Amino acid sequence: MSTANQLEMIRFTQDMTLRWPCRKGDFILWVGYSDIFAGPDSIQIHDRGEMRDGYHVRMTNQPEDFPVWFELHPTEMYDSSH
């Protein structure tokens, strides 16, 4: 179990769904590289969200675990058998 002063790394692998409960004051950041070869200096925050008590975050690579209302954009679809 991690505390507020420790980082916790979870390896996201094939066939995985994570559901994290959130508390007021938690933040979710969507980050990416402007140039992956430029190193840590090129990391940019693309979006952020402040969580509240009772919120949860679901991360999955399993289409059957998507919420019923969720639709992938056609450019986000990929068939791993190809």
Residue 24 lies in a domain: yes
Q: Quote the number of domains for the chain.
A: 1
pTM beyond 0.85: the answer is: no
Residue 51 lies in a domain: yes
CA distance 42 to 33: 5
Range of the domain at 35: 17-65
Burial class (CB in 10 A: 0-12, 13-18, 19+), 22: middle
Residue 57 lies in a domain: yes
CA distance 46 to 19: 22
Residue 36 lies in a domain: yes
Residue 81 lies in a domain: no
Residue 1 lies in a domain: no
Residues linked to residue 29 through DSSP beta bridges, in sequence order: 48
Per-residue model confidence as pLDDT tens digits over 28-61: 888 888 887 888 888 888 899 999 999 998 888 8
Residue 25 lies in a domain: yes
The residue among 54, 64, 59, 62 whose CA lies nearest residue 18 is: 59
